[in-house]
């Protein structure tokens, strides 16, 4: 049952069944469009437009970005990624420089795997991890959007400061040229 029919059913006292609400609407001489346009309808909250705007920032899957930045938030995981950038590493090799247990290293690696940054290959008891830098592109794209914003803002600030410096420098130069020099 649609929300509009539910609201109509509640408003008119009809039962909440779809058939009963529809029948009640028909008996009242109200078409489905009128029910949809009822005062409790959420239709007015939805703006329908033929011209749809595309915002690539919205199109990026927020869950993927959340997982990516959550994985990159920990310095140990970032260091592990840097180690794997030089080639595949076993879990033991990844754990050794940080004085953490294999279980703790495995949990870090699972977080990296969940973000899609690491691919694990299991051969018997040996787990070899490889870097998959593909998801980093999504993070870089998201950050590039804000980099352009801040670059533009800083360019405007620089222009304001240069204009301010030139106005401060101009009166000082004019005062020196107006004041005659005295010879001792």
Element at 41 (helix H, strand E): none
Q: How far apart are CA 51 and CA 55, in angstroms?
A: 13
What's the pLDDT at 169?
76
pLDDT at residue 150, as a whole number: 85
What are residue 128's phi and psi, to 5 degrees?
Answer: -105, 130
E-only strand ranges, 98-176? 118-123, 126-131
Q: What is the pLDDT of residue 14?
A: 45
- Per-residue model confidence as pLDDT tens digits over 161-178: 998 888 887 665 555 555
Reading the block at residue 158, the tokens are 């620089």
pLDDT the model gives residue 9: 47
* pTM of the model as a whole: 0.51
For the chain, residues with pLDDT lower than 50 are 1-22, 25, 32, 34-38, 49-58
pLDDT, residue 184, reads 60
pLDDT of residue 89: 95
Region of 150 (left: φ > 0; alpha: ψ -120 to 50; beta: rest) is alpha
Domains of the chain plus CATH, in order, are: 3-45 (no CATH), 60-134 (1.10.10.10)
Calpha distance 95→108 (Å, rounded): 10
So what's the pLDDT on residue 155? Answer: 87
| Confidence at residue 172, expressed as pLDDT on a 0 to 100 scale | 56
pLDDT, residue 152, reads: 85
pLDDT at residue 176, as a whole number: 54
Per-residue pLDDT at 73: 94
The candidate with the shortest Cα–Cα distance to 109, out of 134, 86, 83, is 83
Sign, Cα dihedral of 16, 18, 19, 23: positive
């Amino acid at each position: 049952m649609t929300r509009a029919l539910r609201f109509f059913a509640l408003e008119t006292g009809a039962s909440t069944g779809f058939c009963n609400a529809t029948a009640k609407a028909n008996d009242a001489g109200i078409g489905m469009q009128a029910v949809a346009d009822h005062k409790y309808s959420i239709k007015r909250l939805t703006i329908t437009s033929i011209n749809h705007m595309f915002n690539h920032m919205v199109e990026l899957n927020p869950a993927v970005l959340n997982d990516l930045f959550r994985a990159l938030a920990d310095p140990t995981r970032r260091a592990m990624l840097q180690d794997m950038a030089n080639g595949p590493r076993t879990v033991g090799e990844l754990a050794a420089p940080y004085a953490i247990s294999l279980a703790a290293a495995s949990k870090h690696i699972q977080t990296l795997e969940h973000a899609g940054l690491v691919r694990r290959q299991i051969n018997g008891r040996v787990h070899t991890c490889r870097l998959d830098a593909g998801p980093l592109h999504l993070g870089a794209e998201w950050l590039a959007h804000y980099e352009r914003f801040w670059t533009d803002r800083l360019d405007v600030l620089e222009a304001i400061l240069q204009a301010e410096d030139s106005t401060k420098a101009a009166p000082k130069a004019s005062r020196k040229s107006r004041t005659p020099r005295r010879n001792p």
